[in-house]
A and B are shown apart, each in its own frame.
Chain A
Amino acid sequence: MDQMYAYKCTKCGKLHHPRYVVCQNPECDGREFEKLPLEGKCRLLTWTRVYNLPEGYMCPWLNFGIVEFENGVRVTGQIGFDEEIESGMELNATIGVVREKSILYKETVTAPQYGFIFQKA
């Protein structure tokens, strides 16, 4: 299973997600990043349940959320449960398949893509 990472600028220490080419700190121009595994305890900032999904999702709806980790990194991902979702709740960020297939250069690539799936803490 793929690991998800926070990308730490080796010059100023700022943490990033997703991956950037240049450090996002306006005072820094770092271009090298150290990969730190990113998962576990986080807090839900906002969420939505979407009923009109793009092509390729064979389910009636999906829940999505933006969370903040204890180290301040914010990420967007899927919420892996349906009941009692509330802004502000503590969650556990796990890693799982978020897209079964993707279309690249006119060829359907069936290799699953991994990303964050938030579960109840």
Chain B
Amino acid sequence: MRNVGIVGVGHTKFGKSELPFIDMVCAAALEAMDDAGAKTGNKNVINQVFVGTMGAGMVSRISGIASAVVDTLNIRPAMAETIENGPASGASAIKLGYMAIASGMCDCVLVIGAEGMRAVSGWEGTDFVATMLHPEGEYKYGLTLPAFAGLFTRLCMDKYGLESRDLSIVSVKNHANACKNPCAHIQAPVVLERITNKAYINATNPIVADPLRQYDMCPVSDGAAAVLLVAEDKKAELGFGDKKFVKIAGIGSATDTHVVANREVPSDLLAVRLSAEMAYKMAGVGPADIDVAELHDAFQILEIAESEEVGFFKRGEGHIAARNGETALNGSKPINTSGGLKAKGHPLGATGVSQVVELVRQLRGEAGERQIPDAKTGLAVNFGGFGNNVVSTILTTK
């Protein structure tokens, strides 16, 4: 198969976007194109555009966003498709971009992930996200994603002795990292004592979905991120010869039962494990080779559980590694250097691409104050549904 890699990245500041949705999507795209030196109009070399978004049609009321982007950016007649895989839409779009180039059909693919979530009320937003749950077995009850995270967290607490404070430790770490990321939605340090002290915890960190508190879950954000993929054998010919090439070494994706209750072990995230194993196998690496990881911490419990499922720590010991600081910037296995979904923000379709942008910045040595010294190989896990469709991506400069 051909080698495929990234030569350009773009990322809007996550949060409440002041731009119309298409402008926000194009801002990320143009930043990635400019980073790579890709031209528009007659000099365009992009064959294909994929836009990963869960609800552009449903929430932002714009369907066919990929077609709109190609026209707005003046890169017609490039092929264009909008990709939906819930909150893993971004990583799925990158996967399809990889496949398009690896197959030989395309040489250069622009992938954008985007979501505008602040355009609607909290109620509507919660309902929109919940539509990915099983309609008969889950959604109709009023269940939401935070509800499933609460149910899952309690299972892990009962089974592994994980405590509410462990979730706060992960949250504090990710907030600290986000303070060093100019693209992050929330750039404010959080003090562990302030969100865990029993005397005032219900005021500073109220329960949202028992046992989960406000600081145990991500905020609601708008945002877009983009990467430009090229075939290594065409890199020079297409005009990207002098650009750093971050290789996509492995991609894995796997599905699990739609109904969470029907999983053989409801406290496991099987699709995370299977997708990571597939990505490791393709890349010819293992968990020990990963220098930096972006894990899908829509809820802090997920960072802990995923860190176990991808093989960094033994099952049931992820929270102990977090307690010991092993996942901090200066730890042995830095996780969510970007601030994670917790503090960088989680515009659903943007997240998978945003994770890969962070890895590219780390592997190029351009991550500023949050740089992991000498990072060569990174892993991103993008989690769709409540874990029923997960995409893992491994990048390397080795």
Contacts and interface: CB of A to CB of B under 8 A. Distances in A.
Range class of the A interface residue count:
20 to 34
The 10 closest A-B pairs by CB, nearest first: A48-B150, A18-B137, A54-B127, A49-B210, A74-B261, A18-B136, A55-B123, A46-B154, A50-B209, A66-B261
A50 B144 contact: yes
Interface in B301-337: none
A24 interface: yes
A108 to B, nearest CB: 13
B158 interface: yes
B146 interface: yes
Interface string A62-81: 10111000000011111000
- Interface of A: prevailing SS: strand
Contacts of B123: 53-55
A51 interface: yes
A52 B136 contact: no
A102 B136 CA distance: 12
Contact of A53 (B142, B211, B212, B260): B142
Given A49-B207, A52-B146, A64-B143, A75 B137 contact: yes
Interface in B256-288: 257, 259-262, 266
B141 A48 contact: no
Contact of B260 (A66, A77, A78, A99): A66
A51 B141 contact: no
Interface of A: 17-19, 24, 45-57, 62, 64-66, 74-78, 87, 98-99, 102, 113, 115-116
Interface string B168-183: 0000000000000000
A67 B150 CA distance: 15
5 contacts: A50-B146, A50-B210, A53-B126, A54-B126, A87-B158
Q: Counting chain B CB atoms within 10 Å of each CB, which of A54, A57, A64, A75 scores highest? A: A54
